[in-house]
Amino acid sequence: MRDFPSCFGENGVQVADSSNASKNSQNLVTCVYQTQLSGRSCTITITWSKNLMGQGFSVGIDDSTSQCLCKVDIKPWLFSKRKGSKVLEADNSKVDIFWDLSAAKFGSGPEPLEGFYVAVIFNLEMVLLLGDLSKEAYRKTNASPPHFNAVFVAKREHIFGKKVYCTRAQFCDNGQFHDISIGCETVGLKDPSLEIHIDRKRVMQVKRLTWKFRGNQTILVDGLPVEVFWDVHNWLFGTPVGNAVFMFQTCLSAEKLMPWSCSQILREAHGSFIFLLSASVKSKET
């Protein structure tokens, strides 16, 4: 397991210093999609952010070698920028990005739940469309339907909180959404433990966590095997208390996964869906 913490601690997410969490803490949700631009394979990365200044998002397009073709940041807003468009250039062609979050509904995280759309258009073709307002998006952009439907490849989250960490995720493209709850009590206990619930059902429990602070275990979700990796070393032994990393991945075996870097996983796991969660605690107080 020696490659796991280095891979996901360094490359998987950027973790804010927990000692400055009250000032700088930022929840991030990054979704990676695989699609094509003029027959050329590429990935589109959407990162949703939330901090004290408000909420925002960014869009990045990379080719198959992870070279950035273009990127735009829609900075956090309080009362503006909820609706608009940007024009970029990639491979000497025009990329249009349209968004409308003026009526978007949010949960506790930075990713909108409904009432929105984000559209990425390449040469007047809708290469990626997110949200439930698809009719409004096509009417606004006048784009043609895609020749290749974008595939949801991976999701990463970086959250701040204490004790229990909750989120929602899919374990396959267009699959059912599941509620994930990760509970880990590490403060003041001689024998801390880790529990993971999916849709309120406990699917995994790790006792003697002091000795098993890194590991992996296979669970079943929708009848499919899902490998769960965890690294809570910094929760238990970090000074100040740092971040923990959890990864849920399908299809690829652990033996094939471990030697790779995170960028290789996201680039080459065509038949796999990966959900990566990094959780930072604010302090040692309960």
Note the pLDDT tens digit of each residue in 11-22. 232 223 333 334
Query: What ranges do the domains of the chain cover?
Result: 3-24+159-281, 40-147
pLDDT greater than 90 at residue 261? no
Lowest mean pLDDT, pick from 113-117, 194-198, 261-265? 261-265
Lowest mean pLDDT, pick from 76-80, 160-164, 256-260? 256-260
Q: How much is the pLDDT for 17?
A: 32
Residue with tokens 């995170």: 262
Those residues with Cβ within 8 angstroms of residue 220's Cβ, 6 or more apart along the chain or in another chain: 203, 226
Residues in the chain: 286
Q: How much is the pLDDT for 267?
A: 35
pLDDT greater than 80 at residue 187? no
| pTM for this predicted structure | 0.71
Q: Shortest CA distance to 168 belongs to which of 286, 31, 10?
A: 31
pLDDT greater than 50 at residue 164? yes
Q: Which amino acid is at 82?
A: R
Q: How much is the pLDDT for 162?
A: 62
Q: How much is the pLDDT for 246?
A: 82
Give the strand order in the sheet containing 164-170.
164-170, 177-185, 193-198, 201-206
Lowest mean pLDDT, pick from 7-16, 32-41, 129-138, 171-180? 7-16
Cis peptide before 240 (omega within 30 of 0): yes
- Contact in structure between 245 and 8 (CB atoms under 8 Å): yes
Q: How much is the pLDDT for 93?
A: 83
Residue with tokens 């995280």: 109
Average pLDDT over residues 155-174: 74
| Rounded (10°) CA dihedral 207, 164, 247, 148 | 150
pLDDT tens for each residue of 87-146: 988 877 889 999 999 899 987 778 898 999 999 999 899 999 999 999 999 999 999 999
Q: What is the DSSP string of 99-113?
A: EE-TT-EE-SSSSEE
